Each structure stands twice: as structure tokens, then as C-alpha cells.
Structure 1
Amino acid sequence: MFWVLFLVVGCLASAFSCARLCLAASAAADPAAVRPRARDTELSLYEAAFLSGGPLRVTDLTLVAMHRARRLLVAHTGWATVVDPEGRDDLERSVIGAIGPEGQARIAAIRSTAAAADAVHALADRLAAAGLAVPDAARTGITASVRAVRGATALTLLLGAVALLMPGQDRSTQAEIAAWFSLPLVLTLGCLFIARVEVHPHTRWASPDGQRLLGRIDPAGDPLTAVAVRGVSAVDDPALRTALRGGR
């Protein structure tokens, strides 16, 4: 009966992780946690980019806009070179700052550095305060909780396998062990399934109000709008698209 200790550990891990996910999902879905927008205005391209794909999407949009305006040269090899060192806004200045004083850098490094810049954080804070973006704390809380449930699932599978392989057990005992360990597995797997269906909308960058405004945007006919909403795949220049994806 030593396997019962393994079962207790698996059940406790599953119960605590599922309870944590439920609490995080409840907090993210609480309408009182998000302020309504003061006025129902159209989104800017930067706002649409953030709500569609987060900080990296904002950086991609900035790179494409600067390249099209010939203020930045983006090569298909995956390098970017500054042509005009004077950015027109904070986001362009953050990209130029990410490139550095040499005026040239790898696009992968530019994307990661510019996406973590203060200008992007300020944009995220404004959208969250307006009720259009999911607050960072809610999104990260759900991500960590889902990771904990997955860990509990793996732990339960491992403990169940160890319990089944312990010596001195007949088939009836093994069947009993499998039946008992199936209970915490059903709990964690069911919780992950429900989270995928019900919680996933709350973990996107855009809140329900933000998604509503995104739905009004028609990306057809405007290349920058298409990049903001659809990402790098919407770039009409194959060489530029290759560069933004890391170069050849």
C-alpha cells in the first residue's frame, strides 16, 4: 500500500494547481478589474498592433513603417541600418536606440530590445488603463497557473507509473492503482481543457472591448494596417518579410 502515498501527493498537487488556475481565471474575467474606456474612439496603428500581437507586433510595425519611409534600411540578410537617426515618435526612437550608436544591428536583437522599451510599456499601460488590453498581472497569472496544472499532470503520470512498476503487485492491484490515479488526471486534464475553451479569451492581449474595436478595422488596402492586425505574414515585400523573420 506504499503507492497510496504517491496517490496522495498527486491528488494534492492536482487540487492546488487547479484551484490556483480557477482563481487566476476568475480574476482575469472580473469586469470590475478593467476600467471601461472613457470614449469609443478608433484605434491607432500602434494600438491595433499591440492588441493584436503584443510588444513584438508593435516593434515589427515600427520597423516596417520606418523601412517604407526610407528612414531605416532593412536588409533581407536580417540586419537593419539607420538612415534617419531622428525618430518621429517614442516608438521609432526606441527602435533607433535598440540599434545602438553603430547604426546597424541584427533585427532579432532589435525586436527583443525595442519590445521591452519604456515606449512599449507606456503604450501597454495606456491601453490597460482604458480597458482595452488585458492587464499584465492577469495574463502572467493565468500563464503561470496553466504551467502549474501541466506540471501537476506530469507529476501524477510519473507517480502513477512508479506505483504500477513497484514489485510484488498482481494484476488486480495494478488495475486498482490505475483507477485511483486516473482521478487526479481527469481533474487536471479537464481543467486544462476548460481553460483552453473558457480562459483563453482572457489571456489575449486585447480585452473584450479591445477585441470589439479590432473587429472594426479593415486591413485591406493599407499595408501598415495589415501588418498591425495580421503580423509579419501580411508584409507584401518578400525580402522584407524574410528579414523580419530572421533573415536567410
Structure 2
Amino acid sequence: MLWVLFLLVAWGSAVVSCTRLCLAAVAAAQPMEAAAGPEPEGRALSLYEAAFLAGGERRVADLALVSMSRERRLLLAHTGWVTVVDPDGRDALERSVIAAIGPRGQSPVPPVRAALAAADPVRALADRLVAAGLAVPAGARANVADAVRQVRLACVVVLATGVTALLMVPPASGPGAALAWFALPLLLTASCLVIARVEVHPYSHWASPAGQQLLGRIDAPPRRPVAQRAGGGADAEHDDGELLTALAVHGPAALPDPALRAALRAHWGH
């Protein structure tokens, strides 16, 4: 009956990991429920707020870079470098962009994005959204993500110990009893992962359920053909507004300009 020891390991891993996931999900929901007031019917998200709720600090950095590039105050090259054209930022976030690029006025995009994601204006934006109950606190996101990874690891442990135990079961006894006992912790961990995907999944990203509700009200087409762009005036401003909204909500893949997509996809050293 040595295989019973492996069964204890399997059950221990499953129970501990699933309990931790449940506690992390409850802890993530409580601060947001306390912060959220009545449903914000008249609340409208700014572009930077939408960018944070949809993609976090990195999405805010991408939006700032593309917004300044569209206004010809930055040059974003497809090679992954950004160059300052106008060194005068119009607000704290734009000044943080210029400071992140550095005194030489030129830098690869990845370190600029990393510095901007940690800048005070972005942290202040995140704090405001968390206080309003629209964003998930960073600690809660990390706890839930770690708990989900632990449940996945426990699922692997259950499978590994189950296979090992089956090899140790005497042929005369048959594998039926061992299979039944190991099926239970496997079912427990698999069920927790499915529930986490459906119920806990919103808490693993940036937007709380209330924030996701506001994001869902934004009409942002994922792509818009470049041929439909107007040459100037109000139409051009409207097109830029749609482009930036699509970037905020859907990310760089929504940009119609391949050069901009290449610039934002650049990795360190490009």
C-alpha cells in the first residue's frame, strides 16, 4: 500500500493550492467592492484610463508614444527607436516620456516604455482607478496569478503521483481503487482551473468588473483601412481619435500602420 503515500501528496497539493486560489480571489474582490460606489452610469473613461484598464502600464506607455508621434512631436521608427522632435511636454505624462528618452533625444523603445510604465503619472493613474473600484490592485493581481500557477502545478503533481502509484499497485489488487482515489484530486484541480477561467479571470488582469463594464461601452473598431484616412481638418482628427481609441482598447495590433506596429513590437537591442 505504498501508493497511498503518493495519494496523500496528491491530495495535499490539490487542497492547498485550490484553497489558496479561493482565498486570493475573495481577497481581490473585497477591496474593489468596498471602493466601488453606485454604478457609474455617467462615468466616461479617458483614453489613458481605458488604456490602463485594457492593457496596464505598458498600454499607457504605448498610447503616449503613438499619440505624440501622431502629433509629430516624436518620431517612432520601424527599427524600434524613438526620437524627440518637440522637447516641451504638454502634461506630466508627456514630460515623463521625454525624460525617459533621455538627454540625447533618442532611445530604443523598450527602455522608454519600461521607464514610462514606472513613472509617477502612470502610478497616479493606476491609484485613481483602484480607488474608484475600476482597477484591480497590483498585489491582488499578483496573488491570483500565483495561485492559478500553483493550481496548475498541483494538477501536474496529481498526474505524476497517480502514474507512479499505478506502477506500484500489485497486479492482484488491480488499478481500479487507485484510479478512483487519484481521479478526485485531479477533478478538484481541473474544476478550479475552469472556474478560475470563468469567474476569477477578470481579477487576473487590470480592470475590475466595473472597469470592464465601462470598457465594454467604448466603441473601438479593431482596425481601420489606411485608404479611408482623410487628408486633414476635422476628418483627420476624427481618424486619429479612432486610431488612438483602438490602440487603447485593443493594443498595437489594432494600428493600421505597419511601421508603428513594428516600432512597438521592438525588443531590447533592436
Per the TM superposition, whether the score is higher than 0.5 is: yes
SS of residue matched to 2:72:
coil
Q: 2:131 aligns to what? A: 129
Residues 76 and 83 in structure 2, CA contact (< 8 A), matched pair in contact too: yes
Q: Is the partner of 1:50 in helix, strand or coil?
A: helix
| Structure 1 pair 29–140 and aligned structure 2 pair: CA distance change class (3 A) | same
Q: What is the match of residue 227 of structure 2?
A: none
In the alignment, what sits opposite 1:232? 252
Answer yes or no: is 1:63 the counterpart of 2:65. Answer: yes
Shift of 1:171: 6.5
> Aligned to 2:87, what secondary structure does the other structure show?
coil
Deviation at 1:15, TM superposition (A): 0.4
- Alignment of 1:244 with 2:246, yes or no, is no
**Unmatched tracts of structure 2, length 5 or more:** 222-238
Whole-angstrom CA distance in 2 between matches of 1:234 and 1:207: 23
Residue 18 (structure 1) shift: 0.5
In structure 2, the residue matched to 1:192 is: 193
Q: Does 1:51 align with 2:58?
A: no
Q: Is the 8 A contact 1:60 1:111 kept in 2?
A: yes
Q: Determine the structure 1 residue equivalent to 2:234.
A: none
Contact 1:37 1:132 in 2 (8 A): no
Deviations 1:130-163 (A, max 9, x none): 1111222222221111111111111122222222
- Residue pair 1:87, 1:93 contacting (<8 A) in 2 also: yes
Say if 2:23 is the partner of 1:3.
no
- Work out the CA distance in 1 between the residues paired with 2:176 and 2:100: 60
1:38: Cα distance to partner? 9.8
- Partners of 1:113 and 1:171 in 2: how far apart? 65
**How far is 1:227 from its partner?**
1.1
Give CA deviations for 1:113-142 in whole Å, capped at 9, x if unaligned: 321222211110011101111222222221
Aligned equivalents of 1:242 and 1:174: distance in 2?
55
Q: What's the CA shift string for 1:62-113, capped at 9, x where partnerless?
A: 0101111111111011111122222222222222222223322221222223
Q: Are the counterparts in 1 of residues 33 and 133 from structure 2 also a CA contact under 8 Å?
A: no
Counterpart contact for 1:49–1:229, Cα < 8 Å? yes
* Secondary structure at the counterpart of residue 107 of structure 2: strand
How many pairs were matched up? 247
The Cα of 1:173 is off from its aligned counterpart by 3.6
CA RMSD of aligned residues (A): 2.2
Secondary structure in structure 1 of the residue aligned to 2:136: coil
- CA deviation profile, 1:167-212 (whole Å, cap 9, x unmatched): x731744333222211111110011111111111233322222222
Corresponding residue for residue 177 of structure 1:
178
How far did 1:25 drift?
1.5
Give the corresponding residue for 1:206: 207
Q: CA deviation at 1:17?
A: 0.8
Q: Match for 1:158 among 151, 157, 160?
A: 160
What is the distance in 1 between the residues matched to 2:37 and 2:160?
46
Calculate the TM-score normalised by the size of structure 1. 0.90
- Measure, in 1, the Cα distance between the counterparts of 2:171 and 2:35: 57
Equivalences for 1:103-118 in 2 at 5 Å? 103-118=105-120
1:28 maps to 28
- Quote the Cα distance in structure 2 between the aligned partners of 1:196 and 1:163: 30
- Check whether the contact 2:21–2:144 (CA below 8 A) recurs between aligned residues: yes
Cα deviation, residue 51, structure 1: 1.0
Q: Output the CA distance in 2 between the equivalents of 1:170 and 1:91.
A: 70
In structure 1, list runs of 5 or more residues that go unmatched.
none
After superposition, where does 1:70-109 map in structure 2 within 5 Å? 70-109=72-111
Partner of 1:80, secondary structure, is: strand
